[in-house]
Each structure stands twice: as C-alpha cells, then as structure tokens.
Structure 1
Amino acid sequence: MHPRRSIQQVLLCDLCETVPLQSHCEVCNINLCKACVGEHLSGSFERHNVMPYLQRKSTPNYPKCPEHAEKPCELHCENCDIHVCIKCVSSGKHEGHKLSEFPEKLSVKTQSLQKDLEELETRIYPRYEEMTYDVQTERADIETYYGKLKTAAEEEGELLEREINAIVKQRKSEIQEMKNKHLFTLYKNADEITQIITELRQIISDLKSILKSNDVSLISNYKSRNSEFRTLPPEIRVTLPSSTPQKINTDQLREMFGCLSPLSINTEHGGTVKLAEAVSSPLVKPLLDEPRLAAIIDTGYSGLYSVSCLSEDQVWTCGNNNTMKLLNLQSKLLTSIQTKSGDTPRDIAVTRDGDLVYTDYDSVRLVKNKKIRTVITLQDWVPHYVCSSASDDILVTMVSVYLKQSKVVRYSGSKEKQNIQFDDQGRPLYSSGYSYKFISENRNLDICVADWSARTVVVVNQSGKLRFRYTGHPSNTEQSFTPVGITTDSQSHILTADSENQRIHILDQDGQFLRYIHCDLRRPFGLCVDIRDSLFVAECDTAKVRKILYLSAQC
C-alpha cells in the first residue's frame, strides 16, 4: 500500500510527498506542507486560496477545461451537455444557452448516487448474498437427495437379486426332484432284472443237475419256463429335462428395475429487486363498520388452539389431543394426521406449497402427502409457535429449556438463517417463561409476535430491529390486554386475538389501533386469514372456528 494512502501513516504533502501536510489550497484542491505553500503561491499567476488543512471545506474537485487547461469547469451547459469554464462562457460560444452551476448539478447527482448506494447496500447486495446462501443450502440438499437415490437403487438391486436367487433356488430344487425320480426308476428296474437273473441262474443250475443225474422221475417231471423268460422286461425310456435359458431382455429388466425421471434444469428469470417506493400497492379494502359472520366450523375438539388456512374453504386445526384435522366449511372431516410423537402439537401452519408444519416437544415437523418428516430438532430450546414466511422460510418462537430466555428463529429448510432475541440495547425483545407467543409475518416483511405473558404485541422489521410494541387500546380498562393468536392480511393490517376481552384488535402496519371485531366471540385464540382476507378465528372453549368478513371488498 502507498504510504500516503495508509490510515496508519501521517498524511503527507501532495507536492514533496515527504513532509506532513499543514495546509490546503481550495482552488487547486491539493494538500501542502509549510515549505511548499510559498512555492505553490509564487510559482503561478493563478488565484489561490490556501487555508489550514483542518479548516478546509468540502470543495468539489472540478474537471479541467479541455480548451482552457488552466481553468476548472465550474459550470454545465445544458444545451451542449458539456462542462464549461468561465472563459468558455465569456467567449460567447454558449450565449443564450442554459447554464447551471456545478454545485447544483453535483447536488442532484450526489443525491442520485446516495440513492444508488442505499439501494445497493440495503436491497440488491443482501439479495445476492441470500441467493448465494440459498445455492449453498441447495448444494447440501442435493448431496442428500442424490445419496437417497443411490441408496434406493442399491435397495432395488438387492430386491431383484433376492428374487433371482429365489428363482434359482426353486429351479435347482425342481432339478434335484427330477433327478431323484429318474434314479429311483432306474434303481427299481435294475432290481427287477437282478431278481430275474438270480432266478435264471437257479434254473440253469437245476437243469444241469437233472441232466447229470439221469433220474427218470426228475426228467419226466421237469416243466420248461423258457417261454416265460423269452419276453424281456420293459425297457425304461426317459426323456431328460433340458433348460432353455431365455435371452435377457435388457429393456424389460430396466423396466422391472424402475426408471429415473429426467433431470430438468430451467433457468428462470431472476426477478427484479424493487425500490421501496416502487412496490405496487394491493387493492384497497376498507374496513367494514360491522364485521359479518360467514360460517361456523365445529372441529370436535374439547379445546381448540390453532387454525391455519389451506384454501378459502378448507382449514387445518389442532386442539387438545394428538390429532390435526383438515375440515371444510361444513365441518366435514377431510383428513386427519396424528403427531409422530403422540404428543399434542403446540401449533400448526401451512406452507406456500400447501404442506402442513407443526411443532412438537423438541421438533418442528413437516407433513407432506400424509408422511411426517422431522425438519428441525432442538436440544436446549423448546419450539412453540410457527408460521411460514413469504420467502417460504419457517419462523419459530421458542423458549429455553430452563424457561429463562425466548427468541424467534428463521429457518430455511433445516438451516438456521436468523436469530431474533435482543434489541439494540441488548435487552430481551420477548418475555421469558412458558407462555403463548404466536407469530406471523406481515406483508411488509415485519415479524409480529403476540407475547401473552408481557401483554404486548412485539413487531420487528425483517432485520430483527424493534419497530414498535402495542400494549392495547387506552379504552381497554375492564380487563388487561391478553394477546394470543396473531395474523396479517393483504392490507398489512395486524390482527390479534384478545382472548380475555372476547375480541380481535385490528392495527395498521405501524401499530396504530383501527378497530375491534366482536361477532359474539367466546375466548378467541388462534387466527389466520385466507387469500381473500377472510378471517378464521379458533375459539378455545367452544372448539369452533368462525369465518368472519371484516373488509368491504369481501362482500
């Protein structure tokens, strides 16, 4: 590094580059030591303005005029769109043209640069960092996924091998059985012939004895049996079995083995990072003066805790047992899922893909196609309430095992991306202890937590910085504010269930109270809204879900 550029070195004179600087010439925009000041002032007839370095102003470094090298361009000709100096103007070449001073032009340009810098730092660069993190996460997931494919191929191969081995074993058994039968037949035939040979030998011996004896009675009593033996015993004709191996049909074998779907790689448009002021506003939906009850769903629980919308007419629910139920507006049970651990789920949420997420004793689990997969397992923390974010991350409120700390953690798949626990002064954002802390992400990406124990709704921005706390409306004098369930809508309204006061508070995105929803609610607990901003309220005591219309565009 150049010695004059290092922050560890003393700043040196721009002329001699050996002595520490003391002065600054505003006109020439150079730094000077004491000795070089005199040389600078005496070496030219130009006007100079030398001052102590610490008293220097933030003087723009004007470009030199291409036609009058000794003069800086302090003006800009709008007609010619070029920088000009005083001599250019006095020459008459730009007579009648619109001239603007450089400071004015510079100020506008500086503001534009400042906006570019702010956008790059706060929006564009973080998005690229997030994309890099997503790619790294996807690489890890790919390793796992392709590993599973290889394992599945090995298992399929082992299955086929077992089937082939079984077929070979059966074939060998059949061959042995045929061989035994064949040998038995041959042995039996040989025994019969051996018996006849024995008998023939005896007859031959007897005949020889008779002929030698010349005994008349023996000769006269002899009866020939030759005709009996002239007919030979039957010959055994056996057609030997043969094995005709079939030619292996590779295509059929591959078909038996199953097939891989083709790898499809599509490059999609990466989207655009929008400016804050350029974000399009949603359709404005004014609040109704009187919210309207649209439907009541009977869940069948004895105590109902959470509700999450799958669609406009289907909701997931969980209550005081280990079964999560998918119901329609007519209270018909469509699907039910039991928790993997057998424990009661603490909370449920539906992801952007329509899968169900729920929190268990020490885990966050995902239900996809009725199969339960553990996504997150914790050791020193206990997960409580959960929501799915606009970026398809999972936000989880949790408490330490000793109930002394609480926090919010953002996960992308199984990877922790963000930890929200303290404010800028290092103070806890959320109350400690085992209490309800429902969570929701607003349309402006704020993270909203209903902290029941603290009697407060805590709202932080996307970076985890505290935006505001809401502790209830001043008119709330009968009973303390008791926030439990919380949700948000397309208007960035924040809705929270005030269970002990039997009502819903509606706030704007900055925490300003707008209105109550009553609708004869009985201990409202869990909340959610569907894509049309219909509000679903889970009543704890009645175990019913109420669908409420509270925005004018819904009717």
Structure 2
Amino acid sequence: MDPRTSAQDVMRCDLCETAVVQMHCDTCLVNLCKACVGEHISTDESKNHKVVKFNARKSTPLYPGCKFHNKQECTMYCNQCDIPVCIKCLASDKHLGHKLSEIVQIVEEKKDKIIKQLTELNDTIYPTYQDIASDVQNRIRQLEKEYGDLSTAVTKHGEDWHREIDKLVKKLKAEVDEMKNTQFQTLQKHLDEINKKISDIKDEINSVEMAIDTNDLSKLFSVTSNVHIYRNLPQKLSPTLSKFIPEKIQGENLSKLFGTLSSRSLTSDKHGYSMKTTQKSPEAGSSPPVKQLLDEPETVTTIDTGYEELYNVACLSGEEIWTRGNNKIMKLYSINQGSLLKSITTKSGNYPWDIAVTKSGDLVYTDYSDRTVNIVENEKTEEVIRLQNWIPRSVCSTSSGDLLVVMYSGNDKPTKVVRYSGSTEKQNIQFDDKGKPLYSSNPYNRYYISENRNLDICVSDDGAKAVVVVNQTGKLRFSYTGHTPASKKKPFNPLGITTDSQSHILTADYINDCVHIIDQDGQFLRYIECGLSDPWGLCTDTNDNLFVAQRDNRRVKKIKYMC
C-alpha cells in the first residue's frame, strides 16, 4: 500500500518531505531519511551532529554549551562552583583542585529529584489542592444557604412586627372610639336636659304674659314664678380629650428592640490544611499492616562514617542515609555499599546541631551558632528560618510537610517546640494545661524530636531524663521516664528519637548502650542492644529498619527489629 495514499499516513523526512523517516538527528531534533543525512550534516558543519536510527532518537545527550568558550560542550560539572564546565574550562586554573562530576550523573540525580517532585505534585500536592478547592466551594455553597436563611429570619421577624403593630394600632383606635362615644353620650344627655329647661322657660314666659294681658284678676293671682329655679344655671361640662403620646423613634433603640446581627468573621484555622498523603494517620484512614517485634533483633550492616564523633543519622531512602558528626560536613552514604556518595558543607561553616530529611527528599539542618534552620536542595543551601532570641536545637519534617523545631532561649525562658510552614510560625508548644513547662531548660541539655504516625509530637529531653509526648494540638499525653535494664542500672539518658509504621516510639539510651521501644501510649515493649556502643542518633526507613548512629565508634548500624 502506498503510504502517501493510505488512510493511516507515516512520518516523512523533514528535508525531502517524501521519503519515510529512517534516521534522526539528536542534535537538531530533525527527522531524516537515509538519503538526506549527508545533506543535513553539510548544511551546518559547525555542529556536532548526532545522527541515530529513528527508533533510538533522543538517546544521545545534548550537552549544554559553555558560557565562556564558544562552541564547546560541557561534559563535566564543577560541584564547588555549581556550574557545567567544558574541556577548556578544565584546562584553566579556575577549577584547579575542585571536585568534578560527569554532567550526565548530575543530570540523572537532578532527574531523579524532579521525578520525586513530580510524583509528589501528582500524588500529594495536586489532589490536596483539589480537596481544598472542593472544601472552599462547599463552604461558599453553605455560606449562600446560611445567609439566605438569615435574610429569611429577618424578613419573618419584620412580618411578626407588622402583625403586632397592626394589632396595636387597631386596639388604640378602638380605645379612641370608645372614649369618643362615652363623652359624646354624656354631652348629648346634658344638652337634652338643657333643651328641656329652655322649653319649660318658654312655656312659663307665655303663661306669665297671658296673665299680664288679661283683666281677669284671678288669673293674675294664680301665676307662680319659677325664676328662682332657672336662676340656678346648669353645670358646664368641658370634655378633656385624650392625647396620643408616641414613643420617639430612634434608629439605635429601634434596632435593639427589633433585633441585631451578631458579629461576622472569617477566621483562619490555626493549623491550616494538611497535605493529603498516601500514608494517613490511623484516625484518618486504614491502618498499616500489623508487624511483630522480633525476639532477637539482628544487625544487617554497619557503615563507617569517618567522623571523629558521630551524632545523627537521617534516612533519605531505603538505599541512602545522611549523617552528621563533629564538623561542618554532612555526608550521604550508600547503605548497601557503605560508600560515600556526597558531602555538603554548612553555609556558615559551623557544625550542624541536627539533621532531617523532608518528604520531598531535601536535607534540613539546624545551625546552633548561626540561629538558623536551613534546607539543602540540589546542593544549594537556603536559609528558611532565622531566630532572634531563640537558639534552634533539633528538627524534624512532619507528614504534612511542616517543620517542628525544638529551641531554647538564653534568658531563662522555657524550652519550646515551634511548628513552621516554610518560614511561617503556625504553632507554639511550651506549657501543659497547668501552665508548667513541658521541657527542661538548660543550654547543656540535648533534645531530639520526631512525629509519630498518629501525629503525636515526641521529644527526648535528656535534661529531664524523659521522653515527652504531646498530641498534635500540643496537649500533654504522657512522659516516659525509662525502664533501665537490670544489667545496666544506670539512669535513663534519652537522646536520638524516631518512630515507625506501628506508631512505636524508639529512643537511644546513650548511657545504657541500648534503644528503648515503647508503644504510642508510653508502655515499655523491649530493648534493642545488638552490641550497641554509645548510641546517639536514630532513624527508621519505610521498611521499619532501624539506623543507629554510634558516637564514639563513628559507625551507623542498620538493625532489623520487626517482621
């Protein structure tokens, strides 16, 4: 079948536009037939054309051009200068002694990070924003209904008032009519009495006049006058009219009498929205698969970190861990190979006090001397939080993407835990319900922090010799003060702390060379010893493997303790 006349056409050469595509130039992103390859290359001989079979297109990396040397490709990457470099760059003295990497390796690492970020965008952030938008839409619809109901209530109350006013007006008018009729009848009766006397007077006048005009003397002697009676005039009745005295209509008073609206507000939730995660808390979703503690925990592998003293460990993945010791360098190690993958130096040159890993895989560290909390992304360090009157100690990243920071003040203020979203303070945890400090306060005390799967906030406080656990609102749940092994008999000295999928809380007992496991309600479950020596920092991976940073022997132990 002729491809040019078939219903389902094929891709054609970008040059001749007739032949079927067989080749592809990865440099110019042009589709070619075999016959046009030579012509394409000759059109611009300044480029290093990478012509491959069409099925292998985009397989050849296109190296970035050098900013300093024209027409040179950058195949290497200077980690110290944080820029791609070409062969001429390397030949110069500018990058002498700098650590270099193949740019393909850097790109793969960046691609992995971008893929993780894309996964977070697709699986977590985008669905969360959809849920938030749906929630706001529901609130708008609910608001429309509630304000409609409010308007209806005002109208109904107005109608009730109209009915009561109409009844009152009708009652007052009836009283007016009754008063009018009563006074009218009284005056009418008085008038009738006066009119009768007038008639009687007229009759008496006629009778007297007739007697005067007659010569009949007997009639004259028979006249009896009632003038003395009529001299007593009737009483004068002056009706007093009733007056209508209306109450003065004052808008403010009338409004109070009629009814008022309560104050309106648009409040912001203290904790805001929570990021939607595939791992929800037991209260919010299904519980994880139930795992059992092993009768005998076992050491899987040991990694020598090379520090003089090792303090903290943080899991990047099931394959890689970050460590920090007694200098300014934080190191990333391969768990399986035990090899050093990457080193990061603190921005200030001070040694970090604590390290953690965010949900997106970025390294977080606290700078005790600089009073900052910093995030390292793509080997670039960004200051996220800078404190004025407080000094940051430990830090952890929560399931919602917030940061929890333990900090203390040098002016005798109680130690506190602060929740941050980015650089914005969202929550402050410092006192219990009775106003007493939750944590000890001393510049020499050490604190470490972790969030449990049930969203409890767990802090190890070696000054108080306790693990202090509060719920997500900051209300004290319990304090665990240790269960010293019979063989040790030394005071409980909690340092590093972590949690697992079963909401167990694990804390390193530095003095007693063991790790305590307690349940989410503070009940002691068991110890992990496994030949530990001076255990300090702890972390767990997604498979519930425990990593223990041992201070003096500078090794990280990977321990399997659940099945």
TM-score (norm 1): 0.51
- Out of 353, 356, 365, which is 1:349 matched to? 356
- The aligned residue for residue 396 of structure 2 is 387
Alignment of 1:276-291 (within 5 A): 279-291=285-297
- The aligned residue for residue 220 of structure 2 is none
**In 1, Cα distance between equivalents of 2:300 and 2:315:** 15
Q: In the alignment, does 2:314 pair up with 1:303?
A: no
- The aligned residue for residue 293 of structure 1 is 299
Q: In the alignment, does 2:333 pair up with 1:327?
A: yes
Q: 1:313 Cα deviation (Å)?
A: 1.8
Q: 1:331 Cα deviation (Å)?
A: 2.4
- The aligned residue for residue 446 of structure 2 is 436
Q: In the alignment, does 2:375 pair up with 1:366?
A: yes
Distance 1:433 1:540, change over 3 A: same
Note if contact 2:281-2:455 (Cα within 8 Å) is conserved in structure 1: no
**In 1, Cα distance between equivalents of 2:314 and 2:384:** 19
**In 2, Cα distance between equivalents of 1:278 and 1:410:** 21
Distance 1:307 1:441, change over 3 A: same
Q: 1:504 Cα deviation (Å)?
A: 0.3
Opposite residue 409 of structure 1, the aligned amino acid is: V
Opposite residue 485 of structure 1, the aligned amino acid is: G
Note if contact 1:404-1:433 (Cα within 8 Å) is conserved in structure 2: no
Opposite residue 355 of structure 2, the aligned amino acid is: I
**In 1, Cα distance between equivalents of 2:331 and 2:350:** 15
**In 1, Cα distance between equivalents of 2:349 and 2:391:** 17
Q: In the alignment, does 2:542 pair up with 1:531?
A: yes
- The aligned residue for residue 465 of structure 2 is 455
Q: Give the match's secondary structure for 1:500.
A: coil
- The aligned residue for residue 519 of structure 2 is 508
Q: Once the two structures are superposed, what CA deviation does each residue of 1:142-184 show, in whole Å capped at 9, x if it has no partner?
A: xxxxxxxxxxxxxxxxxxxxxxxxxxxxxxxxxxxxxxxxxxx
Opposite residue 420 of structure 2, the aligned amino acid is: Y
**In 1, Cα distance between equivalents of 2:497 and 2:403:** 16
Q: Once the two structures are superposed, what CA deviation does each residue of 1:467-510 show, in whole Å capped at 9, x if it has no partner?
A: 00000116557100000000000000000000000000000000
Q: 1:274 Cα deviation (Å)?
A: 9.1
Q: 1:275 Cα deviation (Å)?
A: 10
Opposite residue 378 of structure 2, the aligned amino acid is: N
Opposite residue 416 of structure 2, the aligned amino acid is: K
Distance 1:517 1:373, change over 3 A: same
Instruction: Point out 4+ residue stretches in structure 1 off by more than 3 angstroms.
Output: 125-134, 270-278, 474-477
Distance 1:131 1:426, change over 3 A: closer
Note if contact 1:386-1:438 (Cα within 8 Å) is conserved in structure 2: yes
**In 1, Cα distance between equivalents of 2:489 and 2:451:** 30
- Out of 466, 469, 480, which is 1:470 matched to? 480
Distance 1:286 1:343, change over 3 A: same
Note if contact 2:309-2:326 (Cα within 8 Å) is conserved in structure 1: yes
**In 1, Cα distance between equivalents of 2:468 and 2:274:** 28
Q: In the alignment, does 2:495 pair up with 1:489?
A: no
Note if contact 1:307-1:526 (Cα within 8 Å) is conserved in structure 2: yes
**In 1, Cα distance between equivalents of 2:281 and 2:289:** 19
Alignment of 1:25-424 (within 5 A): 130-131=271-272, 279-329=285-335, 330-360=337-367, 361=369, 362-424=371-433
Note if contact 1:504-1:517 (Cα within 8 Å) is conserved in structure 2: yes
Query: Unmatched 5+ residue regions in structure 2?
Result: 1-163, 165-265
Range with greater deviation from structure 2 (270-279 or 513-522): 270-279
Distance 1:510 1:317, change over 3 A: same
**In 2, Cα distance between equivalents of 1:428 and 1:333:** 42
Q: Give the match's secondary structure for 2:511.
A: helix
**In 2, Cα distance between equivalents of 1:127 and 1:493:** 33
Distance 1:372 1:492, change over 3 A: same
Opposite residue 414 of structure 1, the aligned amino acid is: S
**In 2, Cα distance between equivalents of 1:372 and 1:480:** 39
**In 1, Cα distance between equivalents of 2:494 and 2:355:** 18
Opposite residue 290 of structure 1, the aligned amino acid is: E
Q: 1:350 Cα deviation (Å)?
A: 0.2
Q: Give the match's secondary structure for 2:395.
A: strand
Q: 1:394 Cα deviation (Å)?
A: 0.3
**In 2, Cα distance between equivalents of 1:275 and 1:316:** 26
Distance 1:458 1:130, change over 3 A: closer
Note if contact 2:545-2:560 (Cα within 8 Å) is conserved in structure 1: yes
Query: Unmatched 5+ residue regions in structure 1?
Result: 1-15, 17-124, 135-269
- The aligned residue for residue 446 of structure 1 is 456
Q: Once the two structures are superposed, what CA deviation does each residue of 1:100-138 show, in whole Å capped at 9, x if it has no partner?
A: xxxxxxxxxxxxxxxxxxxxxxxxx9997644799xxxx
- The aligned residue for residue 554 of structure 2 is 543
Distance 1:271 1:336, change over 3 A: closer
**In 1, Cα distance between equivalents of 2:393 and 2:280:** 34
Q: 1:431 Cα deviation (Å)?
A: 0.1
**In 2, Cα distance between equivalents of 1:130 and 1:272:** 20
Q: 1:281 Cα deviation (Å)?
A: 1.1
Range with greater deviation from structure 2 (274-283 or 436-445): 274-283
Opposite residue 476 of structure 2, the aligned amino acid is: L
Q: 1:280 Cα deviation (Å)?
A: 1.0
Aligned-residue Cα RMSD (Å) equals 2.9
Q: Once the two structures are superposed, what CA deviation does each residue of 1:274-321 show, in whole Å capped at 9, x if it has no partner?
A: 997663111011000000100101100000010000011210000000
Opposite residue 286 of structure 2, the aligned amino acid is: S
Q: 1:402 Cα deviation (Å)?
A: 3.0
Q: Quote the sequence identity (%).
A: 59
Distance 1:303 1:274, change over 3 A: closer
Distance 1:414 1:427, change over 3 A: same
Note if contact 2:484-2:492 (Cα within 8 Å) is conserved in structure 1: no
**In 1, Cα distance between equivalents of 2:281 and 2:464:** 36
TM-score (norm 2): 0.50
Q: Once the two structures are superposed, what CA deviation does each residue of 1:16-62 show, in whole Å capped at 9, x if it has no partner?
A: 9xxxxxxxxxxxxxxxxxxxxxxxxxxxxxxxxxxxxxxxxxxxxxx
Note if contact 1:393-1:412 (Cα within 8 Å) is conserved in structure 2: yes
- The aligned residue for residue 160 of structure 1 is none
Opposite residue 292 of structure 1, the aligned amino acid is: E
**In 1, Cα distance between equivalents of 2:286 and 2:306:** 42
What is the number of equivalent residue pairs in this alignment? 298
- The aligned residue for residue 60 of structure 1 is none
